[in-house]
């Protein structure tokens, strides 16, 4: 079975500061992929960043980086220089082994303060 745990229901960050959103995962598969999606109040899930289990380098996409610690089974999202538009729900998700679908965590509501 695959499981994603996001322990922070809500987070606040001051504009222009960095913030880390936590994600831990559980799978017995050696091959898996970790995803972060952003869901603003409009409802659409927006893909942010991907990390494969075999990738040696931590993934980065602009202001987003993924702090991948395989031994700890964690895949935390780091957002640098927060902007007001970053306020949204953030979901960590995983696809593992032969599974076709993503398994999502319960999400973290991020609020960026001016």
Q: Does residue 27 bind another protein (CB under 8 A)?
A: no
Binder to another protein among 12, 14, 18, 47 (CB under 8 A)? 47
For residues 74-94, one letter each, b for 16 or more C-beta atoms within 10 angstroms of the residue's C-beta and e for the rest, the string is bbbbbbeebeeebbbbbbbbb
Which among 12-20, 28-36, 64-72, 78-86 is the span making contact with another protein, rule CB under 8 A?
28-36
Three-class SS state of 85: helix
In the chain, which residue ranges form alpha helices assigned H by DSSP? none
Binder to another protein among 8, 20, 33, 73 (CB under 8 A)? 33
Q: Convert residues 90-109 into a mask of x (bound to another protein by CB under 8 A) and - (unbound).
A: -x-x-xx--xxxxxxxxx--
1 touches 103 (CB < 8 A): no
Binder to another protein among 44, 56, 71, 114 (CB under 8 A)? 44
């Amino acid at each position: 079975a695959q499981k994603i745990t996001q322990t922070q229901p809500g987070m606040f960050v001051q504009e222009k500061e960095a913030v880390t959103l936590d994600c831990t995962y559980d799978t017995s598969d050696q091959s898996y992929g970790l995803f972060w999606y952003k869901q603003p109040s409009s409802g659409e899930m927006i893909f942010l960043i991907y990390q494969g289990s075999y990738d040696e380098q931590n993934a980065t996409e602009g202001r987003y980086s993924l702090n991948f610690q395989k031994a700890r089974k964690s895949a935390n999202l780091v957002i640098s220089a927060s902007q007001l538009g970053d306020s949204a729900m953030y979901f960590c998700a995983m696809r593992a082994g032969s599974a076709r679908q993503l398994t999502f965590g319960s999400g973290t509501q991020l609020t960026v303060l001016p």
